[in-house]
Amino acid sequence: MTTPHKLEMARDLDAEPLHSYDVFPVYQKASWELSDIPWDEFRPDLVRPEYVAFAIGAVMGESNSIAAQHGFFNEFADDYDFSAFVCLWGYQELQHHLAFKKWLRLAGTDVGYEQINAMRAPYPPGITPSATLATNIISEIATNHMYKCVSQVAEEPVLTKIMKRASGDEARHAREFIHYTARRLVTHPHELASVLETFYVYMADPEGRYNHPVSKFKGNLPELDGHITIDEVFRYFGEVDDGSAWDRIHKQLLSTLGELTGESVVKLRDIRRILAELPRPAEDSR
């Protein structure tokens, strides 16, 4: 995860403005190809219905990267560096989508194009650009732990290897979304409230456990009526997790807010406290 030292670099407006220049070689070194997955080790005898449902949900969830890229390019039209990072991020997310899709075909099923295509429409802008970034921090951290947790209980070896690869990617994605959030808050400090609110809404909702932000935006598409969605991925995650993975997600999200705000954030009430202490808009304009 991003260290405080690196966040200080993100906040330094005199530092290298093209952070994606540094991200690219890191991602190249850590990248993998579909050919790196040992497809010949696929064990049809170990495929279970819940694995198939999980993989279908993963295909649906990862397919959102196209819509997200479109939304990012629109909302951050004045930020070349972040847009360059989005291109790197989007490639890896699409690879996850294709890897799970290939596994499904080995398992004798697939996801229809109509359902995938329904996810294509871009996301609307967030309350603020910083809130949009915050939503993606949550998404990446949650997905990182979800894949890691499920990979430890799934018995089909190829599916396990896909999840382990994807989990590492998601952790690196979270690190960079934190970087770009910290950088934006330097020049747009009034957007901090929207970041805190985004985290609080997700973490305080008792029904938000084992949910993904994508389901809040695209869970009611008519084309998905009766179809498996990303909700199945997190439902299964909740079924196999003994609570420790969710606790790690919770602690990591709070720790991230601590890094972004420079304050101690160990409980939800700390978020409310920081929000209450922020200057009111009227005071900002004086």
How far apart CA 121 and CA 74 sit, in angstroms, is: 12
Residue 61 predicted with pLDDT over 70: yes
The whole domain housing 230 covers 45-279
Q: How confident is the model at residue 285 (pLDDT cuts 50, 70, 90)?
A: very low
Question: Do the domain assignments include residue 51?
Answer: yes
Question: Do the domain assignments include residue 40?
Answer: no
Question: Do the domain assignments include residue 21?
Answer: no
What burial letters (b/e) apply to 14-52, b meaning 16+ CB within 10 Å? eeeeebbeebeeebeeeebeeeebeeeebeeeebeeebb
Residue 1 predicted with pLDDT over 60: no
Question: Do the domain assignments include residue 248?
Answer: yes
* Helix (H/G/I), strand (E/B), else coil: 38: coil
How far apart CA 129 and CA 176 sit, in angstroms, is: 15
Question: Do the domain assignments include residue 89?
Answer: yes
> Tokens 């649906």 sit at which residue?
60
For residue 155, the model assigns a pLDDT of 97
- Which structure tokens are listed for 222? 């008519």
209: left (phi over 0), alpha (psi -120 to 50) or beta: beta
Question: Do the domain assignments include residue 220?
Answer: yes
Longest dimension (CA), the chain: 69
DSSP type of residue 123: P
Question: Do the domain assignments include residue 125?
Answer: yes
- pTM of the entire predicted model: 0.91
Number of domains in the chain: 1
Residues 84-136 pLDDT 10s: 999 999 999 999 999 999 999 999 999 988 888 888 888 788 899 999 999 99
CATH number at residue 238: 1.10.620.20
Question: Do the domain assignments include residue 22?
Answer: no
Instruction: Indicate the angle between helix axes 4-11 and 244-261, nearest 10 degrees.
Output: 40
For residues 35-57, average pLDDT: 97
Which amino acid is located at 134 in the chain? A
